[in-house]
Amino acid sequence: MKKITLVYFSPTKTTETVLRDITQGLAQSLEISSSEITAVNFTRPEIRGTVLEPFDKDDIVLLGAPVYAGRLPADAADFFKKLTASGTPAILTVVYGNREYEDALLELKDVASACGFIPVAGAAFIGEHSFASTDIPVAMNRPDENDLKQAQDFGGNTGTLLKKTTDLKKLAVLEVPGNFPYREGMGTGAPDFIAVTDACTECGICATACPSNAIDADDGFATIAADCILCCACIKACPEQARLMKAGPIKDKARWLNETCSIPKPVQVFFAVEP
Ligand SMILES: Cc1cc2nc3c(=O)[nH]c(=O)nc-3n(C[C@H](O)[C@H](O)[C@H](O)COP(=O)(O)O)c2cc1C
Ligand code: SF4
Ligand code: SF4
């Protein structure tokens, strides 16, 4: 009996949304029931301390992460590198904010292969940009209905590929865009870019949403800039809209994205094929 496991990092939940629809299409195609599907959401730091059991040939694993500066977020790459697998088919997904995904999908493929997975399919989906807001929109409301239909189709088509492949080792290597050496990616630390307004009710939701424990409840829920990864999960999770992006380099970047990345990009999918 095949089991499906989703393993993902998703501060603002667009990656999670895409992976769930891919899984729906895959499970339907392979007639795998929901009781055989497990999700490992390692966005919160305490989950990243756990070590998962090795995956084997009865598993199908979906690996997913957002794109940060054309790469995988460092926390995501570090967690993926700890996975172990033996001939397990992997379905790779990156979600990006309608600028570019550059080397992120290639990096995910390389990490997965080094862990012992066999990458059978890969995809780059679009998600609302982390830096976006209603005032400065970038890829708002993506993934949209059409993206999610494509996610289901991608899952279904991957299921069809797995059904007709008797020996995964005979599949041609999955080819995805990207270059090695990878581009530089993000540095550590962040500018102090979030203001907490008087609207704050001290509910703590932002701190619970933060993947980096970078919010100090004892200091008016201020951001600890040295630990912040800029994900904006806290801003989007605040029910009072009490966390605002300050004027500065991140807001300038959001404006630049708004001006230069307004044409919606298409979903891209890739499959390993039998030679
Ligand atoms: C620090 C940072 C860097 C980002 N870099 C890129 C990028 O290089 N290209 C891009 O198109 N989107 C970029 N994004 C946007 C995210 O990839 C996008 O919003 C994604 O949907 C977020 O996924 P999540 O909802 O699962 O957190 C970046 C976001 C952050 C926070
Ligand atoms: S989520 Fe908003 S209201 Fe709640 S503690 Fe954080 S900043 Fe304050
Ligand atoms: S404090 Fe920084 S790392 Fe934490 S949720 Fe907010 S933007 Fe993300």
* Domain residue ranges in the chain: 3-181+264-271, 194-247
Ligand 1 atom 22, closest CA: 66
Q: Which three-class secondary structure state does DSSP give residue 27?
A: helix
> Can you tell me the distance from the alpha carbon of 258 to that of 256, in angstroms, rounded to the nearest whole number?
5
Output the pLDDT for position 263.
Answer: 97
What is the DSSP-derived secondary structure letter of residue 120? Answer: E
For residue 95, the tally of other CB atoms under 10 A from its CB is: 30
Question: Residues with Cβ < 8 Å from 56, sequence gap 6 or more?
Answer: 85, 86, 87, 88
In angstroms, how far apart are the furthest CA atoms of the chain?
62
Predicted confidence at residue 1, as pLDDT, reads 65
CATH pick for 194-247 out of 3.40.640.10, 3.40.120.10, 3.20.20.140, 3.30.70.20: 3.30.70.20
Whose structure tokens read 């090795």? 54
Please report which ligand is nearest the Cα atom of 261: 1
CA distance 11 to 41: 10
Enter the ipTM. 0.99
pLDDT values of the chain reduced to their tens digit, one per residue, 275 residues: 699 999 999 999 999 999 999 999 999 999 999 999 999 999 999 999 999 999 999 999 999 999 999 999 999 999 999 999 999 999 999 999 999 999 999 999 999 999 999 999 999 999 999 999 999 999 999 999 999 999 999 999 999 999 999 899 888 899 999 999 999 998 877 789 999 999 999 999 999 999 999 999 999 999 999 999 999 999 999 999 999 999 999 999 999 999 999 999 999 999 998 76
Q: Is 20 in the pocket of ligand 1 (CB under 6 A)?
A: no
Name the closest-CA residue to atom 8, ligand 3: 231
Helix or strand (DSSP H, E) at 209: helix 205-209
> Which fold, 3-181+264-271?
Rossmann fold (3.40.50)
Report the relative pairing of strands 88-96 and 59-66 from DSSP bridges: parallel
pLDDT value of residue 275? 65
Q: What are phi and psi of 103, to 5 degrees?
A: -100, 5
Domains 3-181+264-271 and 194-247 share a fold: no
200 C-beta neighbours (distance < 10 Å), count: 15
- DSSP H or E segment with residue 60: strand 59-66
Q: What's the confidence (pLDDT) of residue 184?
A: 95
Residue of 13, 208, 215, 238 to test ligand 3 pocket, by largest number of atoms within 8 Å of CB = 215
What spacing in Å lies between the alpha carbon of 96 and ligand 1's midpoint? 5
From the CA of 65, how far away is ligand 3's center (Å)? 16
Give the Å distance between the CA of 235 and the centre of ligand 3. Answer: 8
Name the closest-CA residue to atom 17, ligand 1.
96
Q: Are 92 and 63 in contact (CB under 8 A)?
A: yes
Q: Which of 194, 198, 206 to mutate to test the pocket of ligand 2 (most atoms within 8 A of CB)?
A: 206
Ligand 1 midpoint to CA 210 (Å): 15
Nearest atom within ligand 3 for CA of residue 224: 1
